[in-house]
Amino acid sequence: MSGGTRGGVPILRLGDVLVTGLLNELDDKGALAFTEELTERIVADGARGIVIDISRLEIIDSFVARTLMELTTTSRLLGSRVIVAGMRPAVAITLVELGLRLSGVETTLNAEQGLRALGWEQRLGPSALPPSAERGAS
């Protein structure tokens, strides 16, 4: 697992998946730096999927919504699938009330579901071993 944080928002790599998040404190300049760093990391790391956890985001405005849509479109053009995870009910209601649509943005209830949707799953215990290693141990 490796990570980076040039723009102030950590971006972690789990195999060929990048995991990151958005915070309330992210201003316009920070959002642009985050977008630039994430797109650079998609190419540099050969990421096929990205999970953007927004569970700490308590409010959303049109700029953040547009940033998420642009990130999704840019990522798709670079060959990556983006999943926005952890949207709070109040954020979803605000998006609807403001008439903001996250067109083309996939969502999951939490980051773990987002990772699973991308085919990434952490295995613990004996099932973490390949089947051949489990057979050889008996």
Specify the pTM. 0.80
Distance between CA atoms of residues 63 and 131, nearest Å: 48
Q: For position 69, what pLDDT does the model report?
A: 87
Average pLDDT per block of 10 residues along the chain, 138 residues long: 60 94 78 90 96 91 84 93 94 89 88 93 56 47
- Residues with Cβ within 8 Å of 15's Cβ and at least 6 positions away in sequence, in order, are 120
Q: For position 36, what pLDDT does the model report?
A: 92
Helix or strand holding residue 17 (H, E): strand 17-21
